[in-house]
Amino acid sequence: MSEWISVEERLPSENHDTLIVAVVNEIGEYFIDTDAFYIDEQYFRFWGQSETSNVTHWMPLPEPPK
């Protein structure tokens, strides 16, 4: 599996689902979810617009099982 990539280091390709880490409050609680990134608008589809969460890292989704 891939390593986590900081959004400050590099952003994902547009409209490709990725795993993301989003910090959800000021004490650093976080969760992992899937999301896609929109390059033109510079935000993640679900979590990049929220005032209470901040995407910090992402990684490509693994290959599905065969």
* pLDDT tens-digit series, residues 15-33: 788 898 888 777 878 888 8
Domain count, the chain: 1
Q: Examine residue 65 and state whether it is found in any structural domain, yes or no.
A: no
Q: Examine residue 28 and state whether it is found in any structural domain, yes or no.
A: yes
Q: With 0.85 as the threshold, say if the pTM is over it.
A: no
Structure tokens at 26: 């000021």
3-state secondary structure of 3: coil
Separation in Å, CA 45 to CA 33, 42, 53:
12, 9, 13
pLDDT score recorded for residue 35: 84
Q: Examine residue 35 and state whether it is found in any structural domain, yes or no.
A: yes
Q: How far apart are CA 1 and CA 27, in angstroms?
A: 28
Among candidate residues 3, 2, 7, the one with its CA nearest the CA of residue 57: 7
Task: Give me the domain span that covers residue 32.
Answer: 5-60
3-state secondary structure of 26: coil
Q: Examine residue 66 and state whether it is found in any structural domain, yes or no.
A: no
